[in-house]
């Protein structure tokens, strides 16, 4: 287990900086996810960390020792890292057991030792009965577990996961998220987890780094990122939200098209404008007489546990509201919304 530090890391392709002076510290034994849309530089970052790519600037150090800089990199095979690939990258010409044993054989361990560790890992992954099969004969979830087994069995210093669940169907994905966290809790490898799925990141990570345009937009614990986004990009990327734009009119107050909002937290842009985020489920919907903001229900969608409303405020903005399924309103009905200051957050951009 080793602390991983990326500092000022830069990678350019032509004039485009895929990774731009990126700083990130992964504490020993922590699982950090790099979260962002495609093209944000998260996969490039992972390739830099794994040693497949050479940085143009900055450095990567593992346990205090530099493994990558513009002057050179320690090649991937010498880094004692493991990686889980989007495609699983299982070798189709090797059986499950052979796939798992591959890294151990390279380490020239005694045969019996390899056998023992492979069996133990296959047990952990519940793959024992598939050991003689070829990857093509396994389901997607099983293949994923072989990939994990292969990566973990070598007891890497650092574990890298590149969108490991994106090829699985939804229910399996859900299950594997928990599996990955469970394994992390058990083995405590220093881990970087690349994903574009915020739910995946929230389930698995100690720390989430939201990336945009080769930079880290915001890093923090999952609840931190969710409850206290700093920018519109982060607020929108982590779960759905309502964004309201206007002017700052007081210490904690914004005016968005006539709608007055008090924000108890957040930071304001310096130019006097205001960007306010409020999550749909934080808005209270009540009768037309109640609430601070009157409006009309434009759409009402029943989701089972909840009801989803789109409300056009008289002041202008349209807001999404998630309410308990007990709170019933019809399309066209006049309602009043309450926007609690505790949940209105000012964003810097």
Partner 1 sequence: MSLALNTTRRLRLGHVDLSLIPLGLAGLFLAMLVLLPLGWLLAYTVTDESGALSWTNVVELADTSLFLEPFITTFGIALGVASLACLLAVPLAWLVARTDVPARRLLRGLVMVSFITPPFIGAVAWVLLAAPNSGLLNQYYRGITGAGTFDYLFNIFSAAGIIFVMASYAFPYVFVLAANTLDRMPHDLEEASAILGGGRWHTFRRVTLPMVLPALLAGFIIAFLQAMTQFGTPAILALPAGFHVLTTKIWSLFQFPPKAHLAAACAMPLLLVTIFLLRLEKTLLGRRGYTMVGGKSGSPQLAKLGVWRWPALLLALLLLFVTVLLPNLVLVRASMLRSVSDPWTLETITWANVPLVFGLSNTVGVLKNTLVTGVVSATLGTAFAVLIAYLTARRAVPGHQVLGFLATAPAAIPGIVLGVALFIAYTRPPFQLYGTLWILLLAFLTIEMPPAYQQMQAAFRGLNPELEDASRILGAGRMKSLAKVVAPLLKTSVAATWCFVFIGAIRELSATILLTTSNTKLVSVLIYDLNEGGALGGIAVLGLVLMAVTAVVVLIANRVAHVGVMPDGR
User: Which residue's CB is nearer to partner 1, number 52 or number 302?
Assistant: 52
Given a contact cutoff of 8 angstroms between Cβ atoms, the answer to whether 191 and 24 are in contact is no
As measured in angstroms, the least distance from the Cβ of 33 to partner 1 is 19
Work out whether strand 284-287 and strand 57-62 pair parallel, antiparallel, or are unpaired.
Answer: unpaired
C-alpha distance from residue 211 to each of 11, 54, 121, 143, 214 (Å):
14, 20, 33, 29, 7
Does 16 contact partner 1 by CB under 8 A? Answer: no
C-alpha distance from residue 33 to each of 85, 126, 148, 343 (Å):
15, 26, 17, 25
Among 37, 72, 258, 316, indicate the residue that binds partner 1 (CB under 8 A).
72
Cα maximum dimension of the chain: 78
Dihedral of CA 218/222/227/232: which sign? Answer: positive
User: Which residue's CB is nearer to partner 1, number 110 or number 332?
Assistant: 110
Does 81 contact partner 1 by CB under 8 A? Answer: yes
Does 150 contact partner 1 by CB under 8 A? Answer: yes
User: Which residue's CB is nearer to partner 1, number 75 or number 340?
Assistant: 75
Does 102 contact partner 1 by CB under 8 A? Answer: yes
User: Which residue's CB is nearer to partner 1, number 127 or number 263?
Assistant: 127
Does 187 contact partner 1 by CB under 8 A? Answer: no
Tell me the sheet residues that pair with 335: 287, 295
Helix (H) or strand (E) holding 187: helix 170-187
Q: Convert residues 125-144 into a mask of x (bound to partner 1 by CB under 8 A) and - (unbound).
A: ---------x-xx-------
Query: Tokens 């779960």 label which residue?
Result: 239
| Contact set with partner 1 (CB under 8 A) | 50, 52, 54, 62-63, 65-67, 69, 71-83, 85-87, 89-93, 102-103, 106-107, 134, 136-137, 150-151, 154, 157, 160
């Amino acid at each position: 287990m080793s602390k991983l530090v990326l500092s000022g890391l830069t990678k350019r392709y032509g004039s485009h900086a895929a990774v731009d002076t990126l700083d990130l510290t992964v504490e020993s034994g922590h699982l950090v996810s790099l979260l962002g849309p495609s093209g944000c530089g998260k996969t490039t970052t992972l390739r830099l960390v794994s040693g497949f790519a050479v940085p143009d600037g900055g450095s990567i150090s593992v346990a205090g020792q530099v493994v990558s800089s513009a002057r050179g990199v320690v090649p991937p095979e010498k880094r004692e890292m493991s990686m889980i690939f989007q495609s699983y990258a299982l070798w189709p010409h090797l059986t499950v057991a052979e796939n798992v044993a591959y890294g151990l054989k390279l380490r020239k361990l005694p045969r019996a030792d390899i056998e023992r560790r492979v069996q133990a890992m296959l047990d952990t992954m519940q793959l024992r009965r598939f050991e003689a099969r070829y990857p093509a004969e396994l389901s997607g979830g099983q293949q994923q577990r072989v990939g994990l087994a292969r990566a973990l069995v070598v007891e890497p210093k650092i574990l890298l996961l590149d969108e490991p669940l994106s090829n699985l169907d939804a229910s399996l994905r859900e299950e594997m998220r928990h599996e990955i966290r469970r394994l992390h809790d058990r083995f405590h490898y220093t881990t970087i987890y690349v994903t574009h799925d915020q739910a995946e990141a929230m389930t698995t990570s100690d720390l989430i780094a939201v990336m945009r345009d080769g930079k880290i937009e915001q890093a923090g614990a999952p609840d931190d990122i969710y409850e206290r986004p700093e920018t519109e990009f982060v607020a929108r990327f982590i779960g759905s939200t309502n964004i309201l734009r206007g002017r700052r009119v007081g210490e904690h107050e914004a005016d968005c098209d006539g709608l007055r909002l008090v924000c108890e937290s957040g930071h304001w842009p310096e130019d006097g404008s205001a960007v306010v985020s409020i999550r749909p489920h934080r808005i209270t919907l009540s009768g037309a007489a109640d609430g601070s903001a009157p409006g009309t229900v434009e759409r009402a969608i029943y989701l089972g546990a909840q009801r989803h409303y789109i409300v056009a405020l008289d002041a202008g903005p349209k807001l999404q509201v998630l309410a308990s399924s007990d709170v019933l309103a019809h399309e066209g009905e006049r309602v009043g919304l309450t926007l609690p200051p505790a949940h209105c957050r000012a964003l810097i951009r």
